[in-house]
């Protein structure tokens, strides 16, 4: 049986080699089809890896609760005198910490966009009031100095930890830790540490954009409260825009990953009682991860289908050539039939030829597909250097810049299987046409 | 005497819509083992139809065809294929070799379609080589058909027809494309096979060639018109004597007449 299969394949190879150019051109259709399947899936896989990395950066055991500003005029709190009051309260923090046993830690965050200054250097940055736990929660690494401590909180010290980019901008020459201070608003803070660069994490509801950590200034949340307070006014076209916010975010850490989704429900329920205006939003990175996984699957199916179209086109090309071959080799078919070949033998012969053709195309396509990441990198570098001319990049193209296609191992046997399947599918009709020929007519064929 | 093949009241009708053409209208012939028959007749006499039926390439509309004691007239396509492979050896006017195969591979071809598809063994290969030597192609086993003369190609076809030890050998105008000298060579080869006991049925319209057989059956209008027993059979010496001296001399000098390919 095996010997016979080898023999049939040899036979197929032999007659394909008889028309090298024709076979080669026919094969190209499948080569590119398989290549595009693998490449599309690799790019899709790369993009989702990128997204997943960003979501994982938010922490899988975390639940993030953020304050959101209600639509203008919907909630005016009379007690705060015309200012907009919304968002999470310090009482919420205590409540969540004390009533939900699954919650291991709760980190409050207060944040504001502010200009930081050192000598003539300024930078628009995010002033973050937080606690020492913030560092672990966001996987921040200290480059120099130290992060905030509990002592800083208790003493409401005017100390600041600079994010990588801020340090670079404000202290282009000097060492930021060399007894330096920076000014934010009318308050001076002494620099106690600098963080290492960290990739941005995914955008979450209630925040403006993807969370970039490199433009942050970290101060103790108690310092924030006493130096800046809950009420912040910013000049607007007509008068002042005053907001009263106690906390911008509470990040909760749950003990076990499997409790995350359920705990998030409890958190939502607890808060809803005290916030009828729904001025908060609960984000569960784990849910985002699941959504991203679904998105990835949809992505793969869509990209895969597009690539599959080229495979079908390749298959039609093969069918066309095989039909021509059958006509051309009618006499050979007649001879084989006269010598005792059954219909099945003829079908086998032509089907093998088609499958050998499409299968070899599949192998070549896989070889090309494996080169996708390299080709992608080359094309991207070329585009960045010559087409975009090194100009400023939006967030989207930054993602493109950092993305790396990943050839999915499972796509290789899949692509090969599909190419063989295409051979069978599109080879069956020509093979049957060959087998159906009347031997007498076939022998008479010139 | 044991019969190699036998047709009984064989009829073949072709339904062409408005008319039904009766190509064979009741043919009964016995072919004893070791027979050498020439089937003669003008075109349209039904001799080609008869040959197709004898070769198992087609099924009769009515009547019986017994081959080696087996009724093959109503067999399925697959069964007929096996019959063609095992019991019939074909020799065609235009040789019908597979052009991309070597002499040896062409001779080997029927072995691949044996019932049950046993793989071709080393012993089988040896037999192919012996067969090639036997038909005088020992030096040309690796040549391809286009490198051979017509006579040599027909020798390959004869070797191929012999591979599965068939009940009958069917030759369809086997010498039709060959000059008289090469024809004589091919007929000598067939005669030798017949002398060894092989049953040969050949279709020809050349009376000279028909004289090599033991008997002639003349077809006309789909029936056997008459049967002639060849009292004096042609053999190689008589054939050479009868063929034109000019052709013989040219052949001997290696100066081929038209129609004969390169050697």
- Quick: pLDDT tens for A127-147: 999 999 888 877 788 998 999
Residue A15 contacts B where some CB pair is shorter than 8 Å: yes
CA–CA min distance B115, chain A (Å): 9
Pick the CATH number of B34-59+78-253 from 3.40.50.1950, 3.40.50.1970, 3.30.70.420, 3.40.50.300: 3.40.50.300
Residue B52 contacts A where some CB pair is shorter than 8 Å: yes
Nearest to A104 by CA among A255, A251, A250: A255
DSSP category for residue A251 = E
Nearest to A35 by CA among A375, A435, A362: A362
Q: Which residues of B touch A439 (CB under 8 A)?
A: 57
DSSP category for residue A185 = T
Q: Across the interface, do A340 and B110 touch by the CB < 8 Å criterion?
A: yes
What is the CA angle B212-B215-B216, rounded to 5? Answer: 95
| H/E run at residue B218 | strand B215-220
Q: pLDDT grade, residue A201 (50/70/90)?
A: low
CA–CA min distance B238, chain A (Å): 34
| H/E run at residue A188 | strand A187-195
Residue A73 has a pLDDT of 53
Asked whether the beta carbons of B80 and B244 are under 8 A apart, the reply is: no
In the predicted structure, residue A408 carries a pLDDT above the cut 80: yes
If you average pLDDT over every residue of chain A, what do you get? Answer: 84
Q: Across the interface, do B113 and A334 touch by the CB < 8 Å criterion?
A: no
Residue A72 has a pLDDT of 59
Both tokens of residue B148?
């051979």
Which of the residue ranges A69-73, A173-177, B99-103, B208-212 would you say has the lowest mean pLDDT?
A69-73
Residue A298 has a pLDDT of 85
Residue A45 has a pLDDT of 82
Which of the residue ranges A46-50, A178-182, B94-98, B228-232 would you say has the lowest mean pLDDT?
A46-50
Residues 219-258 of A with CB under 8 A from B: none
Other Cβ atoms less than 10 A from the Cβ of A24: the count is 15
Residue B117 contacts A where some CB pair is shorter than 8 Å: yes
Nearest to A341 among B81, B90, B160 (CB): B81
Size of interface A-B (CB pairs under 8 A): 62
More confident residue, A363 or A303: A363
Share of chain A above pLDDT 90, in %: 30
Q: Which residues of B touch A333 (CB under 8 A)?
A: none
Summarize the confidence of residues A188-209 as an average pLDDT: 71
Domain ranges of chain A: 2-55+291-444, 62-255
Q: Residue A295 class from Cβ within 10 Å (0-12 exposed, 13-18 middle, 19+ buried)? A: middle
Q: Dihedral of CA A294/A295/A298/A303: which sign? A: negative
Residue B57 contacts A where some CB pair is shorter than 8 Å: yes
Q: Which residues of A touch B58 (CB under 8 A)?
A: 440
Residue B263 contacts A where some CB pair is shorter than 8 Å: no
Asked whether the beta carbons of B153 and B145 are under 8 A apart, the reply is: yes
DSSP calls for A152-179: HHHHT--EEEE-HHHHHHH-SSS-TTTT
Both tokens of residue B128?
């192919």
DSSP category for residue A247 = B
In this prediction the ipTM stands at 0.90
In the predicted structure, residue B98 carries a pLDDT above the cut 80: yes
In the predicted structure, residue B166 carries a pLDDT above the cut 50: yes
Top mean pLDDT of A64-78, A238-252, A333-347, A370-384 is at A333-347
Q: Which residues of A touch B109 (CB under 8 A)?
A: 336, 339
Residue A185 has a pLDDT of 86
Residue B84 contacts A where some CB pair is shorter than 8 Å: yes
What is the CA angle A258-A263-A267, rounded to 5? Answer: 160
Residue A329 contacts B where some CB pair is shorter than 8 Å: no
In the predicted structure, residue A196 carries a pLDDT above the cut 80: yes
Residues 159-178 of B with CB under 8 A from A: 160, 164
| H/E run at residue A96 | helix A90-99
Q: Which residues of B touch A334 (CB under 8 A)?
A: 96
Residue B231 contacts A where some CB pair is shorter than 8 Å: no
Mutation target among B49, B57, B58, B169 for the A interface, most CBs of A within 10 A: B57
- Taking the C-alpha atoms of residue A223 and residue A159, their distance in angstroms, rounded to an integer, is 9
Q: pLDDT grade, residue A399 (50/70/90)?
A: low
- Taking the C-alpha atoms of residue B49 and residue B57, their distance in angstroms, rounded to an integer, is 10
CA distances from B162 to A170, B93, B97, B195 (A): 98, 17, 14, 14
Both tokens of residue B196?
């060894």
- Taking the C-alpha atoms of residue B171 and residue B35, their distance in angstroms, rounded to an integer, is 13
Both tokens of residue B215?
């008997």
- Taking the C-alpha atoms of residue B25 and residue B229, their distance in angstroms, rounded to an integer, is 23
Q: Which residues of A touch B57 (CB under 8 A)?
A: 337-338, 439-440, 443
What residue has token string 């907001």?
A: A243
Nearest to A338 among B57, B86, B117 (CB): B57
B133-147 pLDDT per residue, tens: 999 999 999 999 999
Asked whether the beta carbons of B169 and B9 are under 8 A apart, the reply is: no
> In degrees rounded to 5, what are phi and psi of residue A322?
-65, -35
Residue B55 contacts A where some CB pair is shorter than 8 Å: yes
Q: Residue B22 class from Cβ within 10 Å (0-12 exposed, 13-18 middle, 19+ buried)? A: middle
What residue has token string 């064929």?
A: A445
3-class state of residue A148 by DSSP: coil
Q: Across the interface, do B90 and A338 touch by the CB < 8 Å criterion?
A: yes
β-sheet bridge partners, residue A129? A110, A219
| H/E run at residue B20 | strand B20-32
């Amino acid at each position: 049986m095996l010997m016979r299969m080898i023999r049939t394949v040899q036979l197929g190879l032999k007659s394909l080699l008889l028309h090298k150019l024709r076979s080669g051109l026919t094969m190209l259709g499948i080569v590119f089809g398989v290549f595009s399947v693998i490449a599309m899936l690799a790019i899709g896989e790369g993009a989702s890896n990128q997204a997943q990395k960003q979501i994982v950066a938010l922490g899988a055991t975390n639940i993030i609760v953020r304050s959101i500003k209600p639509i203008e005029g919907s909630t005016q709190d009379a007690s705060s005198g015309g200012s907009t009051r919304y968002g999470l309260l310090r009482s919420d923090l205590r409540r969540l910490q004390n009533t939900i046993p699954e919650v291991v830690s709760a980190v409050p965050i207060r944040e504001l966009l502010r200009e930081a200054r050192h000598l003539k250097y300024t930078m628009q940055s995010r002033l973050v009031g937080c606690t020492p736990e913030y560092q672990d929660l966001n996987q921040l690494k200290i480059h120099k100095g130290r992060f905030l401590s509990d002592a800083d909180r208790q003493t409401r010290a005017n100390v600041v930890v600079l994010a990588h980019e801020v340090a670079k901008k404000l202290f282009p020459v000097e060492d930021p830790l060399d007894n330096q201070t920076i000014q934010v608003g009318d308050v001076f803070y002494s620099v106690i540490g600098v963080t290492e660069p960290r990739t941005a994490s995914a955008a979450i509801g209630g925040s403006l954009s993807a969370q970039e950590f490199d433009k942050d200034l970290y101060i103790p949340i108690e310092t924030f409260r006493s130096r800046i307070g809950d009420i912040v006014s910013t000049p607007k076209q007509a008068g002042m825009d005053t907001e009263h916010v106690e906390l911008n975010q509470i990040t909760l850490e749950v003990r076990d990953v499997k409790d995350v989704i359920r705990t998030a429900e409890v958190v939502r329920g607890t808060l809803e009682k005290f916030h009828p205006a729904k001025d908060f939003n609960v984000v569960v990175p784990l849910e985002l991860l699941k959504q991203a996984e679904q998105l990835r699957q949809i992505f793969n199916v869509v990209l895969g289908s597009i690539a599959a179209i080229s495979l079908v086109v390749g298959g039609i090309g093969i069918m066309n050539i095989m039909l021509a071959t059958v006509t051309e080799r009618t006499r050979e078919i007649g001879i084989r039939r006269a010598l005792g070949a059954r219909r099945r033998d003829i079908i086998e012969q032509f089907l093998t030829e088609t499958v050998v053709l499409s299968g070899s195309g599949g192998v070549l396509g896989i070889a090309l597909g494996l080169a996708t990441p390299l080709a992608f990198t080359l094309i991207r570098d070329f585009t960045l250097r010559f087409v975009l001319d090194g100009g400023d990049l939006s967030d989207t193209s930054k993602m493109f810049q950092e993305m790396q296609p990943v050839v999915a191992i499972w796509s290789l046997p899949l692509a090969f299987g599909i190419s063989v399947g295409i051979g069978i599918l599109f080879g069956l009709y020509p093979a049957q046409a060959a087998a159906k020929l009347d031997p007498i007519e076939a022998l008479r064929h010139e | 005497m044991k019969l190699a093949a036998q047709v009984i009241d064989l009829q073949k009708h072709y339904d062409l819509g408005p008319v039904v053409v009766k190509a064979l209208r009741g043919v009964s012939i016995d072919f004893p083992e070791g027979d050498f028959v020439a089937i003669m007749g003008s075109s349209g006499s039904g001799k080609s139809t008869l040959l197709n039926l004898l070769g198992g390439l087609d099924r009769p509309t009515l009547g019986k065809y017994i081959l080696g004691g087996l009724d093959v007239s109503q067999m399925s396509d697959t069964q007929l294929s096996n019959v063609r492979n095992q019991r019939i050896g074909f020799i065609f006017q235009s040789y019908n070799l597979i052009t991309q195969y070597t002499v040896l591979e062409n001779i080997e071809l029927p072995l691949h379609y044996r019932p049950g598809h046993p793989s071709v063994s080393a012993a089988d290969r040896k037999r192919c080589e012996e067969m090639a030597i036997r038909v005088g192609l020992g030096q040309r086993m690796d040549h391809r058909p286009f490198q051979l003369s017509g006579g040599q190609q027909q020798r390959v076809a004869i070797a191929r027809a012999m591979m599965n030890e068939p009940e009958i050998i069917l030759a369809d105008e086997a010498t039709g494309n060959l000059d008289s000298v090469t024809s004589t060579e091919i007929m000598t080869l067939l005669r030798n096979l017949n002398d060894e006991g092989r049953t040969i049925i050949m279709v020809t319209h050349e009376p000279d060639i028909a004289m090599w057989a033991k008997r002639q059956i003349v077809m006309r209008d789909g029936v056997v018109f008459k049967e002639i027993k060849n009292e004096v059979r042609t053999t190689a010496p008589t054939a050479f004597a009868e063929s034109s001296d000019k052709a013989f001399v040219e052949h001997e000098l290696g100066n081929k007449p038209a129609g004969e390919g390169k050697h």
